[in-house]
């Protein structure tokens, strides 16, 4: 081949390559900007083991893409052997064909949500998780696994789950969610343990968690919690029994709604009218505000408190004033 023909051939290849690259760029840019769905959101499923071809066909049948051919082309432009990750996806308003493709390739799955309410017992938390249709393996729960993974020496699962809203992909294992919420509780608890008032009579973070759980059940008022904590700490320092009604209630198997004199006389590991010190375990999953109050109670001389029927409490330093407050607010 003559030199001039070689030069022309190279120029022609370069020209055609440039045109091809321009077309590819234009095509991708078009796919990036074309809006194919205008509703707020639509849920789309990719089944496990499903082929790319079937997924693309389902997209077209759901009116989520305008062209099967174009979506196939951009899929193979992105990856010579595209593999879509199975699961549940949210197609949002203003999603483009390219953004949908990126979700499928990255496995950007739709996140379910579940909220553990402050003050929930472990029994209530398990019921909440088991009844959620998006959580799997609810019949083979390994309760000991989260405890083994924690540096805190829990005696039971009670109190190990931090109350919060958790996100998870549909089909998540129940044990994985338990581990996530227990790890969050451990992290928050240990942070407050490091920054606690070191004069407090706790022997471990676990004891501080037990105290926080009692505070949680006594009050939801953020300003009162440190005062309630101070009452219990003052009583511990004076070797007085805590006499906390929520611990008594927790120890009753079938609580009917009212604490009886018989309940107060019964000696068990949670009746703080009959035992010294803290109960054996937490009685619920406390909020961060209760953990904070347990780690740094208010400075006070209060030894008693009673509900004033207005969502708050009346605090007293001596028994006589406490009896007067009880007569005023609790007896009719």
Boundaries of every domain in the chain: 27-106, 111-190, 196-329
Sequence-distant (≥ 6) Cβ neighbours of residue 216 within 8 angstroms: 118, 119, 284, 285, 286, 287, 290
- Evaluate if residue 261 carries a pLDDT over 90: no
- Evaluate if residue 30 carries a pLDDT over 60: no
Question: pTM for this structure?
Answer: 0.80
- Evaluate if residue 106 carries a pLDDT over 60: yes
**Domain 27-106 shares a fold with domain 111-190:** yes
The pLDDT confidence band at residue 245, using thresholds 50, 70 and 90, is very high
* Mean per-residue pLDDT of the chain: 86
Does residue 250 contact residue 270 with C-beta atoms inside 8 Å?
yes
The pLDDT confidence band at residue 304, using thresholds 50, 70 and 90, is very high
Query: Average pLDDT of 260-279?
Result: 92
Query: Average pLDDT of 16-42?
Result: 51
pLDDT of residue 114: 95
In CATH, the architecture of 27-106 is 2-Layer Sandwich (3.30)
State in words which class domain 111-190 has: alpha beta
Query: Average pLDDT of 79-106?
Result: 84
Strand partners, 41: 92
Long-range contacts of 178-186 (CB under 8 A, 24+ apart): 178/129, 178/141, 178/143, 178/145, 178/146, 179/145, 179/146, 179/149, 181/116, 181/125, 182/146, 182/147, 182/149, 182/150, 183/149, 183/150, 185/159, 185/160, 185/161, 185/209, 185/285, 186/150, 186/151, 186/152
DSSP state of 126: H
Alpha helices, H only, the chain: 3-33, 52-61, 68-78, 97-106, 122-130, 144-148, 174-194, 205-218, 225-237, 245-251, 261-265, 288-295, 319-329
């Amino acid at each position: 081949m003559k030199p001039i023909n070689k030069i022309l051939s190279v120029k022609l290849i370069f020209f055609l390559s440039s045109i091809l690259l321009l077309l590819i760029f234009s095509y991708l840019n078009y796919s990036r900007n074309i809006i194919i769905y205008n509703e707020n959101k639509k849920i789309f499923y990719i089944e496990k083991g499903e082929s790319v071809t079937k997924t693309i066909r389902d997209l077209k049948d759901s009116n989520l893409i305008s062209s099967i051919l174009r979506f196939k082309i951009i899929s193979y432009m992105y990856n010579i052997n595209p593999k879509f990750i199975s699961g549940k996806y949210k197609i949002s308003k203003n999603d483009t064909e390219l953004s949908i493709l990126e979700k499928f390739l990255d496995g950007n799955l739709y996140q379910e949500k579940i909220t553990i309410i402050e003050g929930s017992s472990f029994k209530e938390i398990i019921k909440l998780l088991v009844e959620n249709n998006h959580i799997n393996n609810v019949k083979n729960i390994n309760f000991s696994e989260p405890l083994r993974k924690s540096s805190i020496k829990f005696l039971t699962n009670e109190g190990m789950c931090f109350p919060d809203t958790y996100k998870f992909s549909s089909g998540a294992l129940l044990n994985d969610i338990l581990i996530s919420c227990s790890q969050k509780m451990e992290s928050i608890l240990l942070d407050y343990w490091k920054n606690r008032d070191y004069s407090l009579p706790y022997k471990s973070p676990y004891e501080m968690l037990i105290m926080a759980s009692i505070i949680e059940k006594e009050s939801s008022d953020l300003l009162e919690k440190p005062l309630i904590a101070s009452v219990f700490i003052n009583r511990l320092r004076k070797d007085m029994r805590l006499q906390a009604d929520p611990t008594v209630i927790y120890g009753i198997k079938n609580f009917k709604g009212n604490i009886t004199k018989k309940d107060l006389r019964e000696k068990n590991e949670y009746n703080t009218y009959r035992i010294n010190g803290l109960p054996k375990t937490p009685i619920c999953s406390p909020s961060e505000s209760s953990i904070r109050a347990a780690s740094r109670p208010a400075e006070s001389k209060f030894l008693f408190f009673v509900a004033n029927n207005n969502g708050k409490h009346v605090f007293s330093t001596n028994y006589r004033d406490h009896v007067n407050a009880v007569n005023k607010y609790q007896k009719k």
